[in-house]
Amino acid sequence: MEQELLNQTYHKQILISFIGDVYCKTADNGFVTRAALCLLDKYKAPVAVLSKGGNRILRDIDVFRDFGSRIMVGTTLTFIDEAKSREWEPGASLPNERLAVLSTLHKAGIKTLASFEPSIEPHESLKLIERTLEDDSVIHYKIGKVNNFRGYGDDFDWSGYLTQALKMLRAAKKQVYVKQSIRKYAPEVELLPEETDSEKWIVRSDS
């Protein structure tokens, strides 16, 4: 990995990770993740970290700080109801822990991300958005919908959900990216150009 970083200059954001979770319970106490982050920082690569690992994320907060503006750290938010969270995401940290981690990261000066993909039950996602806005702990929001799960959610009012979510987030002047997964289910919702641009809000190399 270091040789590859040595031979290239990375200007485009590297995502860690969308498939899998580097801060899951079965990880190796984070040794590989921390080493990888340190290398990416050493070679000035821009990085986004996405995890449901809760407090385990915070063991690398010192490394995140070292990145400065070249990093964005966040979590996927699905349910505010703990029972539903346990049912759908066994092994993941509970919602209040994830929310607290976002608050800690934000107070430490680290750019924060909340991913609402998948949004599984719209009213749960709206409650979570409200919570993040209460303490202003999130900078960037990604909004999508549950996909490829035996048709679950295809008959929900995604237009109504997206309209309400955007009303709250625009009023708070948040960065928002609306993913294609929900756009096609809410074609009548008018979106701003920056809300459909996947490159608009990514972190970049400052070199």
Quote the pLDDT of residue 207. 45
111 token code pair: 């750019």
Q: Flag whether 201 is in a domain.
A: no
187 token code pair: 């074609």
Name the band, by pLDDT with cuts 50, 70 and 90, for residue 168: very high
Q: How far is the C-alpha of 112 from the C-alpha of 48, rounded, in Å? A: 9
Q: Flag whether 12 is in a domain.
A: yes
Quote the pLDDT of residue 155. 79
Identify the weakest region by mean pLDDT among 21-25, 37-41, 53-57: 21-25
- Is it the case that residue 21 has pLDDT exceeding 80? yes
CATH number (domain holding residue 142): 3.80.30.30
Quote the pLDDT of residue 179. 95
99 token code pair: 């929310």
Q: Which of 187, 121, 116, 189 is nearest to 153 (CA)?
A: 121
- Is it the case that residue 149 has pLDDT exceeding 80? no
Q: Flag whether 152 is in a domain.
A: yes
Quote the pLDDT of residue 191. 98
Q: Flag whether 204 is in a domain.
A: no
84 token code pair: 């539903």
Q: Flag whether 207 is in a domain.
A: no
Q: Flag whether 90 is in a domain.
A: yes
- In the chain, what percentage of residues exceed pLDDT 90? 78
Q: Which residues pair with 112 in a beta bridge?
A: 73
Q: Flag whether 202 is in a domain.
A: no
Quote the pLDDT of residue 74. 97
Domain count, the chain: 1
Q: Which residues pair with 74 in a beta bridge?
A: 50, 113
Q: How far is the C-alpha of 176 from the C-alpha of 143, rounded, in Å? A: 8
17 token code pair: 């990770």
Question: Domain containing 187: what range?
Answer: 2-195
Quote the pLDDT of residue 31. 87
Q: Flag whether 20 is in a domain.
A: yes
Q: Which of 37, 43, 44 is nearest to 73 (CA)?
A: 37
Mean pLDDT, rounded, of the chain:
92
